[in-house]
Structure 1
Amino acid sequence: MAENNDEVRERPQFNEYLRETRLQHGITVEAVCRETKLSRHVVESIEAGNRSVLPEDVLLKSFLRSMAEACGADGDTAVSLYLEAHPPSREGASFCSPGNRKRNLGLVFILICLVSLVVGGVSFFFDAP
């Protein structure tokens, strides 16, 4: 049982994985910024593991993949290390549930009808003799 705990501790954090890979390949932060189009502040925040200044998970996972590729690392590994340390919340998962999609389609339909009525009313008003 103690061996499993040691194995878990030996796996690097996502930020350590990216920083160590970048340094092993002799790649500078500036080169990563040029390659990924990420600002220096974002790259340094990712390497420091400072999540408070980083974007939401969907965008951050894209940043991690881009940064990993620029550093010569595996993007999927970087994202999986991130998700191990910071599992997604249940709140975000329910946003696109089938029930919400049906409700959203209903709202879109109502919005289209309202816009059509407004456009029809305006054209009727301005085209009247």
Structure 2
Amino acid sequence: MNNQTLRMDREQAKKLIELGSRLCQLRQNQGISLHQVAEKTMIPTRLLAAIEAGNLEQLPEPVYIQGFIRRYADVIGMNGAEFASAFPTDADLVVPESSWRGTVQAQLRPLHLYLLYMVLVMGAVGGLSFLLNRSTTPQMVGLTETAQPQAQLTPGTPVVPIGPPAPAQPRATLSQNLSSPQPSVSPSAVQKPIRIGLTLTAQSWIRIEADGKTEYEGVLPEGTQRTWTADKRLTLRAGDAGGVMISFNDSKPKRLGEPGDVEEITFGGDAQANTTPETSRNSESLTASSETF
């Protein structure tokens, strides 16, 4: 699977150079500036320049690159859908289906399965019977030993207890144990989990990492409302920050960024810092990171 991913990356980089060069040539032949294309497509100029230069490292995920190419091609009078289909995405990876022939499951016959089932049933019944016999035998022996001395007692024979008497617990100690206060758990000792809510006003690619584990990665359509939680740390990355409204622990939703920008934000900290989101970088570093994505 790693070899297929590397091969796909090389193919994407090669195809992006080819398509970007063709878009740049057609735009210049029509006398259209890159700024005019950015105004009509609502795509930042830096991303359009990266497409023309074939710089794959400065662009978001391949599915967004394909969408940018389609909108770019439509503006300069081409068939955007047909032109952008030449750019491969991660969805084009084909996972070979594993053949089940020759495996142990394929060689099993109904008779084999029936015999295996009978062996399992007999083993379960035998084990259950052994456990029941083992648990009931000591109880019956104890009852027999206890009842035998009582049967030999005659009327008027005093019963002498066997063994030393159990020491009585002092009253002062008992009353002290009853009156001693029980420890209580402070409400502040319970850590409040991290919870973010997303409302999409436009289609966007989203990736959620909760406590170091990727919980979701994919494209969410417009109008989607989702909620994610984490114990210590939660990171959100969006391909189109202008279409994402985010709220932290039931706070008022705010827009993540500008349309077309790739933004990443991290929430985390101790229990006292949960009321304020902890971003992984300031606004300047966020912009720089999105430009080099």
> 3-state SS of the aligned residue for 1:26?
coil
1:56-75 maps to which residues of 2 (within 5 A)?
A: 56-75=61-80
1:1-129 maps to which residues of 2 (within 5 A)?
A: 13-83=18-88, 88-90=92-94
Q: 1:15 to 1:50 in 2, by over 3 A?
A: same
The 1-side partners of 2:91 and 2:32 are apart by 29
TM-score by length of 1: 0.53
The structure with the greater share of residues assigned to strand is 2
Seq. identity, %: 27
The 2-side partners of 1:78 and 1:15 are apart by 11
The 2-side partners of 1:77 and 1:22 are apart by 18
Q: 1:90 to 1:60 in 2, by over 3 A?
A: same
The structure with the greater share of residues assigned to helix is 1
- The ranges of structure 1 where at least 4 consecutive aligned residues each deviate by more than 2 angstroms after the TM superposition are 80-83, 86-91
The 2-side partners of 1:81 and 1:36 are apart by 20
How big is the shift at 1:81? Answer: 3.6
> Deviation digits for residues 90-111 of structure 1, max 9, x if unmatched?
57xxxxxxxxxxxxxxxxxxxx
Larger radius of gyration: 2
* Maintained 8 Å contact 1:45/1:51: yes
> 3-state SS of the aligned residue for 2:31?
coil
Larger RCO, structures 1/2 (Cα 8 Å, 6+ apart): 1
How big is the shift at 1:31? Answer: 0.4
Q: 1:77 to 1:17 in 2, by over 3 A?
A: farther
> What amino acid is the match of 1:54?
L
> Deviation digits for residues 60-111 of structure 1, max 9, x if unmatched?
111110011112222134323433xx994457xxxxxxxxxxxxxxxxxxxx
* CA RMSD after TM alignment: 2.5
The 2-side partners of 1:18 and 1:77 are apart by 14
* Maintained 8 Å contact 1:32/1:70: yes
TM-score by length of 2: 0.25
* Maintained 8 Å contact 1:25/1:72: no
The 1-side partners of 2:83 and 2:54 are apart by 12
Contiguous gaps of at least 5 residues in structure 2: 1-16, 96-293
Q: 1:90 to 1:55 in 2, by over 3 A?
A: farther
The 2-side partners of 1:87 and 1:17 are apart by 24
